[in-house]
């Protein structure tokens, strides 16, 4: 799969909620090669500090010249990215990793996203023909974080259900509380979010005998398979390197209990 280092140009940066931003970037080589579920490593500024690039799932991509990233401000690197302005350059490496594997044609699909893990699911929903076959379950801390993200899925024709920790929108509780009711009518599930959420999704899907892929989140220093900093335990005493073996893997490949 092709990988590029590209100096992108920021088209726009939109604040979606407190600490949540959507960055639109012009990066034609990466955008034309990107597949849903893949990620990019982003240099957070023109200087050496912070030294390490940050990994971001590709949130949307027009397939020719523009891609979007969803950013939650959690530290110095993401704070610098949130302060960027249109016209600035950001150096990217990508597209990286393995993306989602397609389901059987026309079968019903369930997408489950938690927090910043919602990011790659919109790109995936855009490529699933027809997107109307997708039920999308979104969870987050507050409703404010989900309003614009949910609208993106609804605009495609997906059915959307919401769960929030504070009960400000949709179901008051966990997004996994919503899942079991949908599985009898689901051929395949795709999840991305915090590890405990994905462990619960994997277990619920296993119990219902529904195939499930997860997009793993991990700290990544290189994104290229060199530092081994993104290791998670796999089944059969294997290690999975999220940047190279993933980020998307079959949920049955992960040793969730370790
Ligand atoms: Fe360095 Fe995966 S991030 S090996």
In angstroms, what is the span from residue 244 Cα to ligand 1's centroid? 7
* Predicted confidence band of residue 50 (pLDDT cuts 50, 70, 90): confident
Fold of 109-215: Rossmann fold (3.40.50)
CATH among 3.40.190.10, 3.30.1330.10, 2.40.30.10, 2.60.34.10 for 4-96: 2.40.30.10
Q: CA separation (Å) from 10 to 5, 28, 148, 175, 213?
A: 16, 12, 20, 33, 31
d(CA 85, ligand 1 centre) in Å: 29
What are the helix (H) ranges across the chain?
28-33, 76-82, 119-127, 147-156, 195-208, 242-245
Question: What is the value of pTM for the model shown?
Answer: 0.95
Q: Where are the domains of the chain?
A: 4-96, 109-215
Whether the domain at 4-96 and the domain at 109-215 fall into the same CATH topology? no
To test the pocket of ligand 1, the residue of 241, 246, 249 to mutate (highest count of ligand atoms within 8 Å of its CB) is: 241
| Backbone angle region of 84, left / alpha / beta, with phi > 0 → left and psi within -120 to 50 → alpha | beta
Distance 248 CA to ligand 1 centre (A): 14
* CA of 218 relative to ligand 1 center, distance in Å: 9
- pLDDT of 257 > 90? The answer is no
Atom of ligand 1 nearest to the CA of 220: 3
* Cα-based distances in Å from 156 to 21, 101, 130, 240, 249: 21, 20, 9, 33, 25
| Segment 212-227 mean pLDDT | 93
pLDDT in tens, 222-240: 999 999 899 999 999 899 9
Q: Report residue 2's pLDDT band, with 50, 70 and 90 as the boundaries.
A: confident
Nearest atom, ligand 1, residue 222 CA: 1
């Amino acid at each position: 799969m092709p990988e590029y280092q590209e100096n992108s140009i920021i088209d726009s940066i939109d604040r979606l909620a407190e600490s949540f931003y959507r960055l639109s970037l012009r990066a034609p080589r990466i955008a034309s090669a990107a597949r849903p579920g893949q990620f990019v490593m982003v240099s957070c500024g023109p200087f050496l500090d912070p030294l390490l690039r940050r990994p971001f799932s590709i949130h949307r991509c027009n397939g020719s010249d523009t891609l979007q990233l969803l950013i939650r401000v959690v530290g110095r690197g993401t704070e610098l990215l949130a302060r960027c302005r249109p016209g600035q350059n950001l150096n990217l490496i990508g597209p990286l990793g393995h993306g989602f594997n397609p389901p059987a044609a026309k079968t019903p699909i369930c997408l489950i996203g938690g927090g910043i893990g919602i990011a790659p699911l919109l790109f995936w929903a855009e490529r699933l023909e027809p997107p109307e076959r997708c039920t999308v379950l979104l969870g987050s801390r507050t409703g404010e974080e989900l309003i614009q993200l949910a609208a993106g899925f609804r605009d495609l024709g997906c059915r959307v259900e919401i769960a929030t920790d504070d009960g400000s929108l949709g179901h008051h509780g966990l997004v996994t509380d919503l899942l079991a009711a949908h599985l009898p009518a689901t051929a395949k599930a795709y999840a991305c979010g915090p590890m405990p959420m994905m462990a619960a999704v994997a277990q619920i899907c296993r119990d219902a005998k529904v195939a499930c892929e997860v997009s793993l989140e991990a700290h990544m220093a290189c994104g290229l398979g060199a530092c081994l900093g993104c290791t998670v335990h796999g089944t059969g005493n294997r290690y999975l390197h999220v940047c190279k073996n993933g980020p998307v893997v079959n949920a049955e490949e992960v040793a969730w209990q370790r």
